[in-house]
Amino acid sequence: MGARALPVRLFLRFEWLKPLFVDGGCTGTLIGWVLSMFGWDMQVIQRCQQRIFKVLPRRWIVERTFAWLSQSRRLSKDYEVSVASAEAFVKIACIRRMIRLWDDFWGRL
């Protein structure tokens, strides 16, 4: 259910967004559904089956974002009951990060 709600919300705001990079856990009919509904190509980023280290393309962007968000105490655990409140706290964490970046930039001038 949630996996189908996200592309709908993304399409309403960002029609130009292409391609979508998704985690290796995204399997099944979702990829075909997104392609047929919105015309978006979803590229699944999967780990190598061998036991060697290999840098995954675009994976660092996701990991960096989660690292930034995990600095917020409220987001470190799953406290929220509703999706709306969870989404609100993610937005608050992003606003907090942007204010810090803004302060660091303008504080040096």
Report if pTM > 0.85: no
Q: Report the pLDDT value the prediction gives residue 43, as an integer from 0 to 100.
A: 76
Do residues 42 and 18 lie in contact, with contact meaning Cβ atoms separated by under 8 Å? no
The residue ranking higher by pLDDT, 81 or 45, is: 81
Q: Report the pLDDT value the prediction gives residue 2, as an integer from 0 to 100.
A: 62
pLDDT reading at 1 higher than 60: no
Do residues 22 and 42 lie in contact, with contact meaning Cβ atoms separated by under 8 Å? yes
Domain boundaries, the chain: 1-51, 58-109
Residues 56-94 have pLDDT tens digits of 677 777 778 778 888 888 887 777 888 888 888 888 988
pLDDT reading at 12 higher than 70: yes
Task: Tell me how far apart the alpha carbons of residues 4 and 8 are, in angstroms, rounded to a whole number.
Answer: 7
pLDDT reading at 98 higher than 80: yes
pLDDT reading at 109 higher than 70: no
pLDDT reading at 6 higher than 70: yes
Structure tokens at 40: 């978006």
